């Protein structure tokens, strides 16, 4: 049992929801069953104010039938609760570290003590993590920019990837497709260009590549040390990014997309200028 003066949530490992008949009214009621860390089980009726819902997170697992379901937990989790309806169906998002929410789904509540095995989306995310960490490796020409002349960038996005696995939990076939949808370059002076997949073969750099930019203001170290220098930058922060497109499906069903953060690389790019001087008057 929960001891007086301590947070109820601190004593809880996980909770699930069962429906049972009230012996006094005869009505079917929902009861939240919580496994405490000392092994005991605590019961909470739907209207029980002792249940520390606001202190608990949610996770996804499987009930005794192998059905995917959600449950309350005090453990670390990447699942976010958006809402719960009157039938205890939860609207959830999967929010892996360092990435936007990757899945928007609705699951029933676990009606038996949950078994926590990797879910389909967690296995898919493991596949995605094998491929999306490749960062751009831009080559710049010239190595130091010159005002009024083009700076060229060469970069080679990775090829598309298709992968699949059979879920050891459900036996379902999970398919994943991963590709760079576009390459973008933020030149550091406010300019930005985006290149679609059709232009990837032309990201070849000097002299004929399509990724090129002209700087108008030189940089100096320290910044602003000359009247023609950029007042705040000693080098332009030139950033190249891969915009990823990722989708997955189960048993050749409809595709679902995953939100994946861009992979980026930033280079400090100094820009000089050539000043013409008159050395002889004829």
DSSP string, 118-167: --HHHHHHHHHHHHTTPPP--EEESSSEETTSEEEEE--PPPPEEEEEE-
- Residue 10 confidence (pLDDT) above 90: no
For 259, the token pair is 């939100």
Task: Give 203-214 pLDDT, tens digit per residue.
Answer: 999 999 999 999
Asked if 109 and 90 count as a contact pair (C-beta separation under 8 A), the reply is yes
Q: What mean pLDDT value characterizes the chain?
A: 87
Task: Quickly list DSSP for 197-235.
Answer: GGGGGG-B-TTT-S-EEE--SB--SSTT-STTB-SS-SS
Asked if 157 and 181 count as a contact pair (C-beta separation under 8 A), the reply is no
For 158, the token pair is 């990775």
Report how far residue 263's alpha carbon sits from residue 12's, in angstroms, rounded to the nearest whole number: 39
Report how far residue 70's alpha carbon sits from residue 59's, in angstroms, rounded to the nearest whole number: 6
Q: 53-57, 149-153, 160-164, 165-169: which has the highest mean pLDDT?
A: 149-153
Task: Quickly list DSSP for 8-23.
Answer: HHHHEEEEEEEEEE-T
- Residue 239 confidence (pLDDT) above 70: yes
């Amino acid at each position: 049992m929960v001891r007086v003066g301590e947070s109820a949530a601190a004593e809880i490992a996980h909770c699930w929801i069962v429906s049972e008949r009230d012996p006094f009214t005869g009505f079917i009621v929902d009861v939240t069953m919580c496994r405490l860390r000392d092994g005991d089980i605590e019961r909470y009726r739907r209207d029980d104010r002792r249940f520390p819902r606001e202190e608990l997170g949610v996770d996804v697992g499987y009930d005794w039938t192998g059905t995917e379901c959600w449950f309350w937990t005090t453990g670390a989790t990447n699942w976010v609760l958006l809402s719960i309806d009157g039938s205890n169906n939860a609207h959830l998002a999967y929010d892996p570290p360092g990435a936007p929410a990757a899945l928007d789904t609705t699951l029933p509540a676990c009606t038996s003590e949950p078994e926590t095995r990797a879910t389909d989306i967690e296995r898919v995310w493991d596949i995605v993590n094998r491929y999306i960490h490749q960062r751009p490796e831009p080559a710049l020409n010239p190595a130091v920019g010159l005002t009024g002349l083009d700076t060229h960038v060469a970069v080679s996005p990775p090829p598309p990837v298709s992968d699949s696995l059979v879920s050891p939990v459900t036996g379902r076939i999970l398919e994943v497709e991963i590709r760079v949808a576009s390459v973008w370059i933020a030149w550091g002076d406010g300019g930005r260009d985006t290149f679609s997949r059709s232009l990837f073969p032309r990201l070849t750099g000097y002299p004929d590549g399509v990724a090129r930019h002209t700087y108008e203001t030189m940089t100096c170290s320290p910044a602003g040390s000359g009247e023609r220098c950029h007042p705040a930058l000693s080098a332009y922060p030139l950033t190249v990014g891969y915009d990823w497109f990722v989708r997955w499906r189960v048993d050749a069903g409809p595709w679902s997309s995953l939100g994946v953060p861009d992979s980026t690389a930033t280079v400090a790019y100094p820009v000089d200028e050539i000043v013409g001087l008159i050395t002889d008057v004829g």
